Structure 1
Amino acid sequence: MATGFLRVKGDTIVDGEGNGLVMRGAALGGWMNMENFITGFAGHEAQHRAAMRRVLGPEKYEFFFDRWLEYFFTETDAKFFAELGLNCLRLPFNYRHFEDDMNPRVLKESGFKHLDRVVDLCAAQGIYTILDMHAVPGGQNPDWHSDNPTGYAAFWDYKDHQDRTVWLWEQIATRYKNNPWVAGYNPLNEPCDPEHVRLPAFYARIESAIRKIDPDHILWLDGNTFAMEWKGFDVVLPNCVYAMHDYSSMGFPTGDRYKGTADQKAHLERGYLRKAQFMSENKTPVWNGEFGPVYADNISDLDAETVNQERYNLLGEQLRIYDKYNISWSIWLYKDIGLQGMIYTNPESRWNQRLRPFLAKKKDFWLDKWGRRPAPDPEAALKPLVDWIDSVSPTAKETYPTSWNTEMHVMRNVFNTFLAASFVDEFAELFRGSSEDDLDELARSFHFDRCVQREGLNRILKDHAHSSL
């Protein structure tokens, strides 16, 4: 039984009886907001879905994605999650489940089918859910995970995009306002406002709009520039938790390897304290909404066991820091095809076998950011272009988002956006001629009973999952 709605009291989250809670869990990334590295396609979700519809036809398309959304998270997943002692699941979703760009402000009731189902499954296991609009009209950031195929975050320059987002949150708040197992609403994931003032203004607007319908639920508000900076924030809104994201480059193949040195540990803690400075100064709760390394695989990485142990050690040190400051966190992510998830599809599953040659091509050509590995051909193409741009335009590397250098801008806009999009049809063709039975078996590859558990990761999460103050 939930003991009333969660709320913010000072720098603490409390339940209806005033007991302090620390929210610790994961995110169901790649589910109602699909991401290329999580399930294997190339490009952006809307491109991927359009290509699959062209190949499968509307009926088989609807059949496949409905089954896939169902198998991706079932009662078995919720029970496993609860058994680890985790108490909160963040649910990222794409606005396109609930509204069409060519039919705006007309609510698609079908979008709630699986969202309701997972909220209820989690509640039955004593797990809170945070509803996270990961992709909004126009794109709140220039990246693939906001399903933005342009590299331009138009959300900030077009009032109608913002109006539609407020309208949709009003519909969602109306639906869940009486559900105490919903821990609250995460209105924007990783916003990127180049002017830094429009984001706080939007938060003030949406807080007011939601409160008129739902005065009880917490709002979980990401900082600017991928939830990493707080320039322009000078007001703390009531009953709100402010959120940072805390990825470490040492958790990725292109970063330094984590050896557990004193300098590396100090670097991790300094990074956390910088991102949490706004919350610390204003004495609000802290939510680290995303963090976590990616993992090597035994097929293509000869020293995978050593690399993965280093990344478990890195994760353990991050969690030790979060324990020290008693913050809430949500690791990225729960389930995928083998790169980062707590559980992942079996390498011998129908899905992974079908995709294997395509996944190798994605690695070779750097078609997604998270799966990037050192590769000679794209490196040979990238470096001269970056050097040339920096030589003719020394200010290019200062282009917002300022956390990106020139190489990152070229990677995102050329490799991960333009080049990746050119492969969406090739991916969809892998499914041409599939029967419903075949599509069901492919979707079933994501069912908990068919997946593999990343035991080293789950053991660490269980060790740090204590949730009460």
Structure 2
Amino acid sequence: MEFIKVVGKHFCYKGEKIRLRGFGVGTWLNLEHFMFGIPTSDQMIQSAFETVYGKEGAGQFFKVYRDSFLGEKDFQLLKACGVNFIRVPFNYRLFINDNGIGEWKEEGFRCFDRLFALGKKYEIFIMPDLHTTPGAQNPDWHSDNSYGVPLFWKYQVLRRQMTKLWGAIAARYSEEPYLMGYDLLNEPAMANWDCMNEFYEETIEEIRKVDKNHVIVLEGDQFSMDFSGLKHFDDSQIALGFHYYPTVWHPNLLERDLDRKERMKQIANGLDQLVQIREQFGCPAFCGEYGYGADCGEPEYTIELVKDTMELMEEREIDWLLWCYKDAHFMSLISPTYQTNWMKLVSQIQKEWTQDIEKEQAGKLLDEIAEKDFTQITEEERYLLQFRLRAALYVLQRNHVVIPKLQKIPLDNMLSMAKDFAYENCEIYENMKVLMQQVLR
């Protein structure tokens, strides 16, 4: 049986070099607020559904949602775009009951079984990505962090639980031909290098007990941008995954009077700083996430940003995954039509909440604290504290935005809305599809 292999600084398949390009399939097995259209973290969204519909009703909704979100027609579209690679984030709770010990939930394996069957049928390689951990590996919502503090790095028992989970997943899929590899941890942040290296080392060892076939992917600190303290592990099948969102860290790149060539030059400079880890570690280094959302401007401008960055990746022979495949009309290839009841709900919610509104509210609170009480506050303290303040806002969003909206929707209607992310209820961003086909033809 053939598997993707690391050979030097490249990936190979069946003895030949292979380029891997595709999409991240976010908000399917781990909910993300701006993509799903509902504020707060995954666990708080699900708890809001349980408050309104009860545990059984909420369970029905999320089962229908998961079963509908990604299916045969989605893989046909991915194949038509020329995609040969997808990265699939998952929440650890898909496999683990927080109040249970020693048993893996079958729901996670059921989702993965169906996923790999579709990957095999359409010859698309799949990389599962542990997007959340108990305690959370970074302070933001996408790690299912409801508190704004990454406690995963404080407690070894939490890290070892995830090591065991990866071992169980590897034991199940060690012979899976369209498994590209295991992305051990999405966007660690505020980690301790000793803890991170220990977690990686123990998890590599656990996986290799049962699976010597597949690549293991390691991400860096600072949301997968800092590899300065990463250990060189004694394993020939290691690859590095970095993430690149230049306009998030340098919003000046979005200034409309900035010349397009100058903007590309600045984006290229940042990209080159990241991709040099390919030489430093002597292994493949690929971009596990990049993309531009509706907050960058009108669709034509956004597609220009995507195109320019994609060209820079291609020039450097960097394998890449565009974020994302499907969401509620923020930065995806495909979204539920605006006529669906789900998008009507999202439109109502956006009158009270968006990610930008949330950030602005947290910023105002920090400004008031700094002005009145703690004038000596530093920029580093502000950066760390805004995560905690945004987490405090999650409580208000859940209680005063999400729950009241859900209470107006009967369960039967909500179960029907769970299917609004299904392919047949979605529309394709044709400009994105054409761009992918042009590059990947």
Is TM more than 0.5 here?
yes
| Maintained 8 Å contact 2:120/2:177 | no
Name the residue aligned to 2:77: 80
Specify the alignment match of 1:10 in structure 2. Answer: 8
Q: What is the CA distance between 1:75 and its match in structure 2?
A: 0.4
Match of 2:431 in 1: 456
Which one is further off, 102-111 or 47-56?
102-111
Q: How does 1:259-274 map to 2 (within 5 A)?
A: 259-274=258-273
Q: Against the structure 1 CA distance between its residues 234 and 354, is the aligned structure 2 distance closer, same or farther, given a 3 Å change threshold? A: closer
Cα deviation 1:183-224 (Å, max 9, x = unaligned):
110010001244323212321221111001111110111111
Quote the Cα distance in structure 1 between the aligned partners of 2:39 and 2:170.
Answer: 33
Q: Deviations over 1:72-95 (max 9, x none)?
A: 111000100111000111110000
Summarize deviations over 1:251-273 as a string: whole Å, max 9, x none: 99886336553332221111111
TM-score (norm 1): 0.87
Matched, 1:310 2:309: no
Q: Secondary structure at the residue paired with 1:213?
A: coil
8 Å Cα contact 2:160-2:199 kept in structure 1: no
Q: Secondary structure at the match of 2:167?
A: helix
SS of 1:444 mapped into structure 2:
coil
- For residue 156 of structure 1, what is the aligned residue in structure 2? 153
Deviation at 1:290, TM superposition (A): 0.7
Partners of 1:82 and 1:57 in 2: CA distance:
39
CA 250–33 in structure 1, closer or farther in 2 if over 3 Å, else same: closer
Tell me if 1:111 matches 2:108.
yes
Task: Describe the superposition over 1:370-398 as per-residue Cα deviations: whole angstroms up to 9, x where unpaired.
Answer: xxxxx7x77655544456688413xx323
Partner in structure 2 of residue 256 of structure 1: 254
Structure 1 match to 2:283: 284
Q: Distance in 1 between matches of 2:385 and 2:432?
A: 33
Aligned length: 438
For 2:210, which of 209, 213, 216 is the aligned residue? 213
Q: Provide structure 2 residue ranges, at least 5 long, that are not aligned to the other structure.
A: none
Question: Does the CA-based 8 Å contact 2:87-2:126 persist in structure 1?
Answer: yes
Q: 1:321 aligns with which of 312, 316, 328?
A: 312
Q: How does 1:423-442 map to 2 (within 5 A)?
A: 423-425=397-399, 426-432=401-407, 434-435=409-410, 437-442=412-417
Question: Alignment partner of 2:209: what SS?
Answer: helix
- The alignment partner of 2:182 has SS state of strand
TM-score (norm 2): 0.92
Superposed displacement of residue 456, structure 1: 1.8
Deviation at 1:276, TM superposition (A): 1.9
Contact 1:349 1:445 in 2 (8 A): yes
Unaligned runs of 5+ in 1: 298-303, 370-374, 400-405
CA contact (8 A) 1:296 1:308 kept: no
* Corresponding residue of 1:60: 57
CA distances 1:323-348 after superposition (whole Å, capped 9, x unpaired): 11111111111111111111111122
Change (3 A) 1:448 1:278: same
Selected match of 1:337 from 324, 328, 342: 328
Does structure 1 residue 362 correspond to structure 2 residue 353?
yes
Moved more, 457-466 or 135-144: 457-466
* Aligned residue in 1 for 2:376: 392
SS across alignment from 2:149: coil
Percent identity of equivalent pairs: 25
Find out whether 1:443 has 2:425 as its counterpart: no
Q: Is the Cα–Cα contact under 8 Å of residues 34 and 354 in structure 2 kept in the other structure? A: no
Mapped contact 1:56–1:433 kept (Cα < 8 A) = no
Contact 2:73 2:423 survives alignment (8 Å) = yes
CA contact (8 A) 2:92 2:134 kept: yes
Q: 1:167 aligns with which of 164, 168, 176?
A: 164
CA contact (8 A) 1:335 1:341 kept: yes
Give the match for residue 420 of structure 1.
Answer: 394
Greater shift in the superposed pair: 213-222 or 269-278: 269-278
Alignment of 1:136-155 (within 5 A): 136-155=133-152
1:30-49 CA-to-partner distances (Å, cap 9, x unmatched) read 11110111111211111111
CA shift in 2, pair 1:428/1:121, >3 Å = farther
In 2, distance between residues paired with 1:230 and 1:148?
A: 23
Distance 1:441 1:461, change over 3 A: same
CA distance in 2, matches of 1:78, 1:169: 25
**Corresponding residue for residue 300 of structure 1:** none
1:92 corresponds in structure 2 to 89
Contact 1:26/1:89, CA 8 A, preserved across alignment: yes
Q: What SS does the corresponding residue of 2:254 show, helix, strand or coil?
A: coil
* 1:385–1:342 Cα change, 3 Å: farther
One-letter amino acid of the structure 2 residue matched with residue 281 of structure 1? Q
Measured against aligned partners, the alpha-carbon deviations of 1:259-293 in whole angstroms (never above 9, x if no partner) come to 55333222111111112222222331121011100
CA contact (8 A) 2:3 2:214 kept: yes
- 1:203 and 2:185 matched: no
Query: 2:149, 2:387 within 8 Å by CA — same for their partners in 1?
Result: no
Instruction: Return the offset for 1:440.
Output: 3.0
